[in-house]
Amino acid sequence: MRKFFSSPTAVVGTLLLAIVLFAALFGPLVAPFDPQEFHPVARLQGPSATYWLGTDQFGRDLLSRVLNGAPATVAFGLFATAIGVGIGSVIGVIAGVSGGWVDSTIMRILDGLLAVPDLLFTLLIVTVLGGGMEHALLAVAIAFTPGMARIARSAVLSVRTRDYVRAAVARGESGFYIVTFEVLPNALSPIVVESTIRVSFAIMIGATLGFLGLGAQPPSTEWGLMVAEARQFMFRNPWCVAIPGLSIAMAALGFNLFGDALRDALDPRRSH
Amino acid sequence: MSWGYLIRRLLAIILVLVIVTFAVFAITAILPGNAAIMILGEYATPDAVAALQKQLHLDQPWYMQYYSWVSGILLHGDFGMSLRLSLPVTQVVGEAFLNSALLAVTALVAVTIIAIPLGALAALKRGTAVDLIIGLFSYLGTALPEFVTATLLLVFLAAPNTGPFPAGGFVAPWEDLGGFASHIVLPAVTLGLILLAHVSRQVRSEMSEVLSSDYVRAARLKGLSERRVIRRHALPNSLAPAVAVISLDIGYLLGGIIVVEEIFAWPGLGRVLMYALENRDLPVIQAVTLLLAGIYAVSNLVSDIVIALLDPRVRYA
């Protein structure tokens, strides 16, 4: 643990993640204003003693809006990744454990799906499902599935021929036992590292969909949507696009750095 | 690298593309909203809708639709007609492809030119303030989604009347090179930022490893100048992983181009795709997706070849 915090990446990552998670859990409670409340005399203001981060085109307090948007944004990243990792791991483990034609069929299909860039894949699925936060979440989860399946498969393959797995096979353990208690726990660390980093991609794609009008809908305080709504007024008050934009960057950076530090801690060979 | 390997890789790409056509076709086939009604409008008579469905082959089972679509592409290079624009898809997509390629290649070349020296510099000055600043910058680069970068660049560099760059649009380079250059700067910077971060980080980590390797130590002990050690020994051996990262990043680039073109009104594939998605223009959606997936698959192959050329230790069987 002490070793984990000896790298600056881990310290900064943990710090950013703590701030972001705090905002996600308690943001709406500590927000100084109602995020939807108009203050007509204080439109498009810069930071001041009353409005710490300024106000948007309706005079709504930006700090309160960003804090209120935090749960939605962070939950989006976490749930989309969790679903994608869940389905992907099941597929990857099935491929890795079965081997043979099952494995090669699954892998060829995954190769095909991986050739479609993430954002394009997500856009296609969102178009099929229709916009909105839940559909966007599902789309990101589906788009993540092939990549995660690949990682889970290679993790499984790397432990499949280890002695302890062979020992379990020799003991005559059931396939289910071997997969659940011998293979999975040992294949878990690359999956955990990759998922942590993917949360930051999920947050970025979610915000991008919100920005394009295909994710969260007004009057939501989702950060991507906030940037899109404020764009018309950005030259009069850059704060109203900068604040939600930098919030997204902060959340993404937190998960990214934390994931990198986790990788270095779990797999010392790969760290430089 | 043997011919057998190349042929097998090409066959693999074809297989990937076949799977992509199935996936794209499946997705577009379950798109809600009847394409014929989308074209004719809500008040179309049932007769007119039926006639158009017949004309578009929408009344046939999906495998017949798939067959006629694929055979059209393979036999005649014909991707069908755009439902909304009443133009052949090849014409709509072809023009957009050219514009997108201009943007993507500019971004890629700029990234390669800037990122490799930047990463090498960070590795040479490892642990110093220079390394830290480059590191921070590259981390920030990976955490900013394209639409945020684009919006911030617009605020600071494209303000009406005072900003040095136009806020969007496109000028063809063969019409006005200066206009083209000023229009491409902001979209290319936006696209390149994430890649710049990835590539410079990769070069840094690879270069730090190479710098502490035995052959670099041997070169130094031989009495070669530091300049020569870096140029002839360290740098060339750090490049192969950078190429691998660039080729993986083509995926980001192709996704990013959709957002960037939408924001900067760049008339490329991304804009065409967004328009087609909004208007359920199935043939255009199918063609653009297939094209982007094809570019990605081919660029991965090209990068493997480049890596093998850069690093003679790499052998593909």
In this structure, which topology does domain A8-266 adopt according to CATH?
MetI-like fold (1.10.3720)
Tell me which residues of chain A, numbers 132 to 191, contact chain B at a CB-CB cutoff of 8 Å. Answer: none
Average pLDDT over every residue of A48-61? 75
CA A208/CA B140 separation, integer angstroms: 17
Query: Given this model, what pLDDT does residue B13 score?
Result: 84
DSSP annotation of A182 reads I
Closest CA to B115 of B183, B206, B30, B52: B206
Q: Quick one: tokens of B155?
A: 């605020």
The confidence band for A182, taking pLDDT boundaries of 50, 70 and 90, is confident
Shortest distance between the Cα of B64 and any Cα of chain A, in A, equals 21
DSSP states of B56-109 as a string? TTTTS-HHHHHHHHHHHHHHH----B-TTT-SBHHHHHHHHHHHHHHHHHHHHH
Q: For residue B267, which amino acid is it? A: P
Residues of A in contact with B30 (CB under 8 A): 128
Q: Average the pLDDT over A227-234 and give the result.
A: 85
B249 vs A2, residue with greater confidence = B249
Chain A residues touching residue B19 (CB < 8 angstroms): 108-109, 111-113
| A209 lies within 8 A of chain B by CB | no
Enter the pTM of the model.
0.85
* Identity of residue A261: A
B88 pairs with which residues across the strands? Answer: B81
A to B CB pairs, distance under 8 Å: 139
- Contact between chains at B148 and A248 (C-beta distance less than 8 A): yes
* Cα distance between residue B80 and residue B92, in whole Å: 11
Q: Check if the beta carbon of residue A44 is closer than 8 Å to that of residue A57.
A: yes
CA distances from A198 to A85, A173, B63, B243 (A): 9, 34, 36, 22
Q: Where does residue A40 rank: exposed (0-12), middle (13-18), buried (19+ CB within 10 A)?
A: exposed
Contacts of A241 in chain B (CB under 8 A): 151-152, 155
The whole-angstrom distance between A231's CA and the closest CA on chain B is 8
Q: Which amino acid is at A117?
A: P
**Dihedral through CA A31, CA A36, CA A37, CA A40, nearest 10?**
120
pLDDT for the residue A251 = 92
Cis peptide before A40 (omega within 30 of 0): no
Question: Is a pLDDT exceeding 70 seen at residue A163?
Answer: yes
- What pLDDT is stored for residue B99 in this prediction? 92
Question: Looking at chain A, which residue has its C-alpha nearest residue B201?
Answer: A272
Mean pLDDT, residues B84-100: 86
Give me the residue spans of the domains in chain B.
Answer: 89-315
The mean per-residue pLDDT over the stretch B3-7 comes to: 81
Bridge partners for A61 per DSSP: A55
The stretch B38-63 carries a mean pLDDT of 76
Residue A94 near chain B (CB below 8 Å): no
Q: Does the ipTM exceed 0.95?
A: no
Under an 8 A CB cutoff, do B254 and A117 touch?
yes
Alpha carbon of A122: minimum distance to chain B alpha carbons (Å): 10
Q: Which of A94-98, B54-58, B304-308 has the lowest mean pLDDT?
A: B54-58
Q: With an 8 Å Cβ cutoff, is A15 touching chain B?
A: no
Chain B residues whose CB is inside 8 A of the A253 CB are 139-140, 142-143
| Mean of pLDDT over chain A | 84
Packing angle of the helix pair B177-211, B129-143 (nearest 10 deg): 120
Find chain A residues with C-beta within 8 A of B254's C-beta: 117, 120
Residues A111-140 as b or e (16 or more Cβ within 10 Å = b): bbbbbbbbbbbbbbbbbbbebebebbbbbb
Cα B303 off chain centre by: 14
Among residues A120, A190, A106, A117, the alpha carbon closest in space to that of B247 is found at: A117
* Length of chain B as a residue count: 317
pLDDT in tens, B289-315: 888 888 888 888 888 788 777 766 666
B140 touches chain A (CB under 8 A): yes
- Render the burial of B147-170: b for 16+ CB within 10 Å, e for the rest: bbbbbbbbbebbeeeebebbbbeb
- Give the nearest chain B residue to A204 (CA atoms): B145
Identify the band that residue B271 occupies on the pLDDT scale cut at 50, 70 and 90.
very high
Per-residue tokens: B218: 């041997």
**Phi then psi dihedrals of residue B166, to 5 deg:** -70, 150
Q: Assign A83 a pLDDT band (cuts: 50, 70, 90).
A: very high
Length of chain A: 272
Q: Name the nearest CA neighbour of A253 among B252, B125, B153, B194.
A: B194
The pLDDT mean for chain B works out to: 82
Over residues A188-214, the pLDDT tens digits come to 888 888 888 899 999 999 999 989 888
C-alpha separations of A21 from A64, A90, A221, B112 in Å: 16, 28, 17, 36
When CB atoms are compared, the residue of B30, B154, B296 closest to A128 is B30
Q: Which of B16, B28, B258 comes nearest A119 by C-beta?
A: B258
- Residue B163, pLDDT > 50, answer yes
Strand partners, A55: A61
Is the confidence at residue B104, as pLDDT, over 70?
A: yes
Residue contact B139–A242, C-beta within 8 A: no
Alpha helix stretches (DSSP H) within chain B = 3-29, 35-40, 46-55, 62-76, 89-124, 129-143, 146-157, 177-211, 214-221, 226-228, 235-264, 269-278, 282-310
Is B155 within 8 Å of A238 when comparing Cβ atoms? yes
> Distance between CA A160 and CA A62 in Å, rounded?
52
Measure A263 CA to nearest chain B CA, in Å: 15
With beta carbons under 8 A apart, name residues in chain A contacting B152.
241-242, 245
Q: What is the pLDDT of residues B41-50, one digit of tens each?
A: 777 788 887 8
Whether residues B255 and A119 touch (CB distance < 8 A) is answered with: yes
Query: For an interface test with A, which of B137, B144, B151, B282 has the most A Cβ atoms less than 10 Å from its Cβ?
Result: B151
pLDDT, residue A137, reads: 93
Test B147 with A200 for CB contact under 8 angstroms.
no
Q: What is the pLDDT of residue A272?
A: 42
pLDDT at A271: 44
Res A78 pLDDT > 90: yes
pLDDT of residue B273: 92
Residue B213 DSSP label: S
Count of CB atoms within 10 A of residue B186's CB?
A: 25
More confidently predicted of A115 and A42? A115
CATH 3.40.50.20 matches B89-315: no
- CA A207 – CA A205 distance, rounded (Å): 5
Name every chain A residue with its beta carbon within 8 A of the beta carbon of B274.
123, 212
The answer to whether the Cβ–Cβ distance between B30 and A204 falls below 8 Å is: no
B175-234 residues touching A, CB cutoff 8 A: 205, 208-209
Whole-angstrom distance, CA of residue A2 vs CA of residue A214? 43
Q: Is A61 helix (H, G, I), strand (E, B) or coil?
A: strand
Distance from C-alpha of B313 to C-alpha of B308, rounded to nearest angstrom: 8
All residues at 6 or more sequence positions from A96 whose CB lies less than 8 Å from its CB, including other chains: A103, A152, A153, A154, A155, A156, A157, A160
| Beta carbons of A208 and B147 less than 8 Å apart | yes
Q: How confident is the model at residue A268 (pLDDT cuts 50, 70, 90)?
A: low
Contact (Cβ atoms closer than 8 angstroms) between residue B122 and residue B204 = yes
- Read off the pLDDT band of A54 (50, 70, 90): confident
Instruction: Identify the bridge partners of residue B81 per DSSP, sorted by sequence position.
Output: B88
